[in-house]
Amino acid sequence: MTVGRIAVVGASAAGLAAVEALRRGGWTGELTLVGDEPHLPYDRPPLSKQLLSGDWERDRLGLRTADQLDALDLDVRLGTKATALDAGTRTLTLAGGERLECDGVIVATGVRARTLPGLARLDGVHTLRTLDDALALRTWLSGAPRRLVVAGNGVLGCEAAAVARELGHEVTLVGRDPLPMGRLVGDGVGALLAAEHERHGVRMLTGSLDVVETVDGHVTGVRLTDGSTLGADTVLLAIGSEPAVDWLRADAALDTADGLRCDEYCAAAPGVYAAGDVARWYHPGHGRHLRIEHRMNATEQAMAAAKNLLVELGVSQDERRPFAPVPYFWSDQYGMKLQAYGVLAGADRAETVLLDKEQRRVAALYGRDGQATGVLAAGLPPRQIRGLRAVIATPGPWEEAHSRLLAAVGAE
């Protein structure tokens, strides 16, 4: 075959894993890595933890050095947006109008932070998705104690609230759900998290942000949808994220409802694959499409997408393989590490086993339609944590998984 070009859009952990897998897999043609941020690929989970707290400096976040990227012989386009993709011809258009004709494309553009209308230019309103976002918020946190309102009590909001409180700031955590991370982890684990935040002095309110009050463009407070007001010096919007697919919507051949829809091989169209937070792919084990915003999934899915693309292009003589991982994620709050395997989101059943309230040792099982789909634990030794993976490695009947969970944590 004629060796042409593969473009990977998104200079993220997923994008980096994709270009490395393509080179390892035998691609010798042009390999373009496009990223809309000016930074080399970096790790995002520490943004709301070690970087925000000041424990790490930005140089620890880099996933590869410039020399390591040079060794891959890449055409690197940082600070460059992709503006369109013609999936039929695999033609990628970049900001400024340059068009790249490609043999294959891997979309790894991730997600962007949700915001609220009219707040983008206010002094004191932050989001937390990019390195620049985290550095801007860290600058504020490094000053004298002030008042922070965190809008959104999901994973990101809870982690940022914990860091800010440990740095001595007055923190109010506002969420639509009455318990922190409750929509994901359920009432049992959510109550444990609520107690932990309260123990550290975080004020928690149920509600939604309506208006940010300002004087001369500076934040002075917020008003919630119930009419109550809170004083504030700054506001962190942690109200979720949106898949970065706007640039793909002009091509009717691509389904961009809640991310880029892919089959079990991570293919969205012939020669077009997706990986990471932006990909909504069919998981054969769960029998439905999933979109997972977890760090480990980004790397694993990017490698799978790259391998399957090389098979389709005839570079590899292997067979395309479905991507069917056991997802994993973690969250650190006040020295408490939550770790989970499988799929917790969308569960219609959750059961929590509180092993030791004082030591914050807990395990929980999550399920959907009578099948166990996910487990979560905190305060358990590494051996037990790893053992929980086997409980839901393949979704199975709830009662069987529940018995295995109890055995794994010694709570039979």
Over residues 331-344, the mean pLDDT reads 94
412 pLDDT tier (thresholds 50, 70, 90): low
Return mean pLDDT, the chain. 94
pLDDT over 50 (residue 1): no
Tell me the C-alpha distance between 97 and 309, whole Å: 26
Q: Which residue has the tokens 């009219």?
A: 118
pLDDT over 90 (residue 217): no
Which tokens in the block code for residue 55? 């424990």
Over residues 233-239, the mean pLDDT reads 96
Give pLDDT, residue 384: 86
Q: Specify the range with the lowest mean pLDDT, choosing from 64-73, 144-153, 378-387.
A: 378-387
Under DSSP, is residue 308 helix (H, G, I), strand (E, B) or coil?
helix
Tell me the C-alpha distance between 329 and 376, whole Å: 9
Tell me the C-alpha distance between 292 and 257, whole Å: 14
Q: What does the DSSP 8-state code read for residue 64?
A: S
Q: For Cα atoms 187, 327, 246, give the angle at the middle one, nearest 5 degrees.
A: 95
Under DSSP, is residue 2 helix (H, G, I), strand (E, B) or coil?
coil
Cα dist from 38 to 21, 81, 138, whole Å: 23, 11, 19
Is the entire prediction scored with pTM above 0.85? yes
DSSP track, 11-43: -SHHHHHHHHHHHHTT--SEEEEEESSSSPPB-
Q: Specify the range with the lowest mean pLDDT, choosing from 137-141, 313-317, 349-353, 355-359.
A: 355-359
Tell me the C-alpha distance between 187 and 362, whole Å: 13
Under DSSP, is residue 268 helix (H, G, I), strand (E, B) or coil?
strand
Give residue 334's identity as a one-letter amino acid code: Y
Residue 409: CB atoms within 10 A of its CB come to 21
Task: Report pLDDT digits (tens) over 24-58.
Answer: 999 999 999 999 999 999 999 999 999 999 999 99
Q: Please, which residues have CB within 8 angstroms of residue 372's CB and are 6 or more apart in sequence? A: 342, 365, 366, 391, 392, 395, 396, 397, 398, 400, 401, 402
Q: For Cα atoms 381, 382, 387, give the angle at the middle one, nearest 5 degrees.
A: 105
Task: Report pLDDT digits (tens) over 202-211.
Answer: 999 999 999 9
Task: Report pLDDT digits (tens) over 298-307.
Answer: 999 999 999 9
410 pLDDT tier (thresholds 50, 70, 90): confident
Give the torsion sign (CA, 341, 347, 353, 355): positive
Task: Report pLDDT digits (tens) over 179-203.
Answer: 999 999 999 999 999 999 999 999 9
Give pLDDT, residue 60: 96
Q: Name the maximum alpha-carbon separation found in the chain.
A: 66
Task: Report pLDDT digits (tens) over 166-184.
Answer: 999 999 999 999 999 999 9
* Contact assessment for residue 5 and residue 89, using Cβ atoms and an 8 Å cutoff: no
Under DSSP, is residue 300 helix (H, G, I), strand (E, B) or coil?
helix
Percent of the chain exceeding pLDDT 70 equals: 99
Q: Specify the range with the lowest mean pLDDT, choosing from 133-137, 315-319, 385-389, 400-404.
A: 385-389
Phi, psi of 307 (to 5 degrees): -60, -45
* Contact assessment for residue 17 and residue 297, using Cβ atoms and an 8 Å cutoff: no
Give the torsion sign (CA, 114, 117, 122, 125): negative
Task: Report pLDDT digits (tens) over 381-405.
Answer: 888 888 899 999 888 999 999 999 9
pLDDT over 50 (residue 238): yes
